[in-house]
Structure 1
Amino acid sequence: MGENNMFQGEMDPELAALLGTAVPSSAGSTASPDYSSLFGGDPGTVSPPGAFDDPGDADAGEGGEENEVELSGTFPDVTKKLEDTPNPAFSDPNYYKIALSNEGDIAQRLHGILQKFLNAKDPKDRGVFRQQIITVYWDFLLGVAKKAAGKLSDPKKFLLRFGILHPSFLGPEEKDLFSRFVVANEYSEPIYYLDEWLRAVGNGTIRASSTDEVNVSRGNASVKMKQLLDKAMGKRDGAKGLLKAKDEERMNLEQNLQEKIGQIIEHYPMDELPEIHSLFSDIQKKVFSEVQEILKQMYKADRELNIFLQEYTQAVEDVETLNDKVEAEGANSAVDSQAVDTEFGTIRQMAKMTIGRQGNQFPILTKEYFHCMPQDVASRENILTQLKWVESIDPQAFCRSYKNKLNRIVPHIILIPGYGDSGMCWEPFDRHNRATSRGRIAIPMYSKSLPLALLTAVGDLRWQNAKEKASFYWMEEGLTGNYYQWFAAKKFKGDLKEFFINDYVLWMTKESEGTQKLDKEVRGIFWRYMPFTQEVKEKLKGRSFTYQELYQRDLNRAKSDL
């Protein structure tokens, strides 16, 4: 079925122009759509093998694989944001037909309501049909989501990924933009389009997100075993991180020892007796005591290294044992459509929260509602660029402390195809693995400002991590404690976390540039508990006395710690 006869019946000229569809000459026709040709047969009909296969969508190279958490590192530079050649799927006249095919009665309902919505002239009727589309579309999308663990055709993939039900809903420029977004995850960073995320959950690569309403682990031995495995893997990764840190500490001590020994054994011939080398100087004699202290520290470091090595070895054995049990019980293959159902329900909640009550809940991408600049669309490459910018200002944005060691753990980032303006943190970390597990943040793809959408999510993540770290004392200690006490002293009303997130946005966008927008006390709290990079601090200290004073406090604290 071509684009020019996608819908039958009378259509409003403006809507026809939006779709790029000519108004049918038989304006009074009310013939019903031919579902048998539209959906490729009865609702239960299965397409022939390979009918809609996408050869480029078969492997894990597209993202969705759970890589081992790297506890250090930086975000890569993005070298390519768009493909040179548009994806041919967006020019396929059968895109809409393929997207809806083999989805049963719900696809027919969506098509029927969408047709009524586009043909409605009365604004009230159109509003009713618009609301019906929202409900039916999400029910329809669930059926598509269940297939995400397998191989999807391009139209179904882009339906999940971007919310594109029909390319003609977009203008030529928007259509060209989306057709040239890079499909594969070429950077191996934990940034997921919705189809990739659902595939990873469906395949068991990533566990389903935690919810208050559903506890899938109760009475499910295989899932409980998988949770134990996740916890053991976290312990293993944490032990490996400590092992690396302690080994580096010992190597630094050894290098320091070599330098001190070099100072001690440095002699010059005596003036009176050139064949005799000089005595130890007073400075060299002082180095003897320093060498003794270094030797003590080396002995202690080596002893701790041995303990960490034993803990790591045991953790590796535990992971291997649990992994064998998981495979024996079939836990890896036990993740079925129920996990995807649960996760899809969670994704829908994420979408609602990123859009907000007053936002545009319409789930289909159309030219009417899409007003983003290309750089503000939350594509994977644009997100990577923004993440690198965030860390250039807030170097500890994605860091979490484990046994007094700060580890960089980038959260899973789920790109939600919706018109929201605020990102959010769903989980700061996996409750079964607090040591090294990734958190989860959701970013709406079509916001007015991508930097602001990302910053609200990072601010949310920062607040929740700090709160969990302080535990029962979150109103007394650390970042959250100091901020709460300031908030209470000011007698402010409203959501505490929302205030914090708004202040974090100002901290990153205004204060980092030297524009003072925060309360003096809040600025001091953020400067200490969410410090800028040294480069930013150096820049700010010359801007005003305010930042110079904060910089001096850092120096005073450093001296007191010696």
Structure 2
Amino acid sequence: MAQDNNMFQGEMDPEIAALLGTEAKPKASAGSFAGSPGAPATDFASVFDDNLEGGEAPSGDIDLTIASFPEITKRFESIPIEAFNDPNYYKVALSGEGDIAQRVHGILQKYLNAKDPKDKGVFRQQFILAYWDFLINVARKAPGKLPDPKKYLLRFSILHPTFLDGENRALFAKFVVNDYLKEPVYYLDEWFKAVGTGTVRNSSTDEVRVAKSNSAIRIQQLLEKAQGKLDGARSLLKAKDEERTNQEKILADSVQLIFEHFPLDGFRDISACYSESQKRVFGEIMEILKNLLKVDHDLDLFLKEYYQAEQDVKTLQDKVEEEGGGITVDVKAVDTEFETIKQMAKMTIGRQGNHFPILTSEYFHCMPNDIGYRENVISVMAWIESIDAEAFCRFHRNRLNRIIPYVVLLPTYGDSGMCWEPFDRYNRATSRGRIVVPMYSKNLQTAMLSAVGDLRWQVAKEKASRFWMEDGLTGAYYQWFQKMKLKGDVKEAFISDYITWMLKESEGTQKLDKELRGVFWRHMPFTKPIKEKLKNRSYVYQDLFQRDVNRSMSDGY
């Protein structure tokens, strides 16, 4: 993807101008499952009833002025979730989903009762295929109201509570239900609801060419693009206003320092001359005033761009109304997103991984700290940010913006997270990227690091565009990779080295090649506290630290 350099230039998009026939403007314990050991028989005659209710979902606006993750004040509920003790949990989970639910139930019974390993393997594969066909029906209901069993089926892959032992069932019952942290970390039920209700855009897929005669679809696509520009312009305005406020506070403190005087020796009624420190403040004030003028100029420019983007959105919304209020799509947003999520789940698990789609004690062996529930994931993200200073940052117009990506928690047994979008294709400046993380991995830190490493690679690659093998982080790494005559996928190698960088090198354990360590130190800098700690560990890090000092004193840094 090439960088869109005219994204916020304060002029009408040429496509919008062409659509309107104008010139572009110039800049301005629950009931057990039958067949499980020791379980009482359950009547499934009414398993497939309809009309079930329950559900909720968060939103995801970006505030560029937030500098850190919120403090996690609650990891577990004081009152456990009652749903896992409901004897009708399994019945409600399958109810209302038609023939596919009956098929899932039948195959699962055969799988549980099979004695021959070969038969069990056949039924296991049949169940996996049928379960995904069943799950899409549940996902379609997520934008509305879901009863708790269906919600936790999507969220945790708990089809039947007694598939977990009592200790683990009690653990899941204590997980916090509501999103009090308000970070863009979504359980699967929340994600499908956000997509289905339009809170979050569908994930990018290969776009289909639209015939020029199909004006309704073209207008809708232009509207999405204009809304992306409007969102970006609003975020930049807020960030620039915050920058001005900070500069004004520094100015006020500096001026206050000038007003401080002491009596001149021998003269009680006469103040002493300015001290050397006060004289230095005069020069600093001049720099602050220059900065304020520049910030004000940028703010004025961003404001014009915002008004233009706002006008473009209004114009296109009017056009959409003229075309009948919108367009009818063949595939629902949730269906499209479900196929994407299904593919992501397979990729995070890998070919040799465990693709069994429901949570059972047979396969679930995570320690509590390694379960990818929301609070745990946010804790790990905060830990990553405490080491990798720019892990969730992107440069735009010489400003480093902190933009936390959407994180979708997949209830699977995968071990690697991944990034499938570095940013929104209609707003590369301030939109969120998208990463997925398996909830039941062997090590949550490693799974998160693989996702963030993938995000870092893709953001750097998109920034360098067609010069990704030469410029920036990806260029430096690719050239080192070629120099070392290494084989295999270069991105996978980068992610592996990134994990080593974060887990080993940040602690002073030298595991990377010397040249590669220099590349990472420059392009993915540790936070200041980590650098200060490392410089005293060995000459290797002391030398890298000194290079930072030398660069900061030169104009080329």
Q: TM-score range by the shorter chain?
A: 0.7 to 0.9
TM-score, length basis structure 1: 0.84
Answer yes or no: is 1:556 the counterpart of 2:550.
Answer: yes
Q: Residues 44 and 91 of structure 2 are in contact (CA less than 8 Å); yes or no, is this contact kept in structure 1? A: no
Q: Residues 69 and 437 of structure 1 are in contact (CA less than 8 Å); yes or no, is this contact kept in structure 2? A: no
| Structure 2: distance between partners of 1:507 and 1:298 | 39
Pairing of 1:506-521 with structure 2 (within 5 A): 506-521=500-515
| Structure 2: distance between partners of 1:384 and 1:425 | 16
Q: Residues 232 and 427 of structure 2 are in contact (CA less than 8 Å); yes or no, is this contact kept in structure 1? A: no
Pairing of 1:162-561 with structure 2 (within 5 A): 162-212=156-206, 215=208, 225-244=219-238, 246-247=240-241, 298-322=292-316, 338-561=332-555
| Structure 2: distance between partners of 1:326 and 1:389 | 45
Q: Residues 108 and 127 of structure 2 are in contact (CA less than 8 Å); yes or no, is this contact kept in structure 1? A: yes
Indicate the residue corresponding to 1:30 in structure 2: none
| Structure 1: distance between partners of 2:235 and 2:199 | 22
Cα shift at 1:268: 8.4
Cα shift at 1:205: 1.4
| Structure 2: distance between partners of 1:38 and 1:150 | 21
Indicate the residue corresponding to 2:70 in structure 1: 76
Instruction: Quote the RMSD (CA, aligned, Å).
Output: 3.2
Which protein shows a greater Rg? 1
Indicate the residue corresponding to 1:144 in structure 2: 138
Answer yes or no: is 1:96 the counterpart of 2:90.
Answer: yes
SS in 2 for 1:66: coil
SS in 2 for 1:37: coil
| Structure 2: distance between partners of 1:330 and 1:162 | 40
| Structure 2: distance between partners of 1:223 and 1:69 | 31
| Structure 1: distance between partners of 2:534 and 2:157 | 43
Indicate the residue corresponding to 2:148 in structure 1: 154
Indicate the residue corresponding to 2:17 in structure 1: none
SS in 1 for 2:176: coil
Change (3 A) 1:312 1:134: same
| Structure 1: distance between partners of 2:287 and 2:177 | 56
Q: Residue type of the partner of 1:53?
A: E
SS in 2 for 1:38: coil
Q: Residue type of the partner of 1:353?
A: M
SS in 1 for 2:302: helix
Give structure 1 stretches of 5+ with no counterpart: 25-32, 41-45
| Structure 2: distance between partners of 1:194 and 1:361 | 17
Change (3 A) 1:333 1:221: closer
Q: Deviations over 1:337-356 (max 9, x none)?
A: 62111111111001000000
Change (3 A) 1:121 1:148: same
| Structure 2: distance between partners of 1:381 and 1:415 | 11
| Structure 2: distance between partners of 1:90 and 1:217 | 48
Q: Deviations over 1:425-467 (max 9, x none)?
A: 0100111111111111000010000111111000000000011
Q: Deviations over 1:22-70 (max 9, x none)?
A: 6x8xxxxxxxx97643323xxxxx33xxxx433xx2x4xx42x233454
Answer yes or no: is 1:3 the counterpart of 2:28.
Answer: no
Change (3 A) 1:116 1:251: closer
| Structure 2: distance between partners of 1:338 and 1:263 | 63
Q: Residues 79 and 174 of structure 2 are in contact (CA less than 8 Å); yes or no, is this contact kept in structure 1? A: yes
| Structure 2: distance between partners of 1:88 and 1:292 | 64
Q: Deviations over 1:483-534 (max 9, x none)?
A: 0000000010001000000011011111111111111111111111111110
SS in 2 for 1:182: coil
Cα shift at 1:135: 0.3
> Greater CA deviation, 243-252 or 514-523?
243-252
| Structure 2: distance between partners of 1:518 and 1:501 | 13
Q: Residues 89 and 160 of structure 2 are in contact (CA less than 8 Å); yes or no, is this contact kept in structure 1? A: yes
Answer yes or no: is 1:21 the counterpart of 2:4.
Answer: no
Q: Deviations over 1:150-170 (max 9, x none)?
A: 101111111111111111111
Q: Residues 217 and 327 of structure 2 are in contact (CA less than 8 Å); yes or no, is this contact kept in structure 1? A: no
Answer yes or no: is 1:38 the counterpart of 2:47.
Answer: yes
| Structure 1: distance between partners of 2:180 and 2:259 | 53
SS in 1 for 2:186: strand
Change (3 A) 1:232 1:275: same
Cα shift at 1:222: 5.8
Q: Residue type of the partner of 2:46?
A: S
| Structure 1: distance between partners of 2:209 and 2:108 | 35
Cα shift at 1:183: 1.1
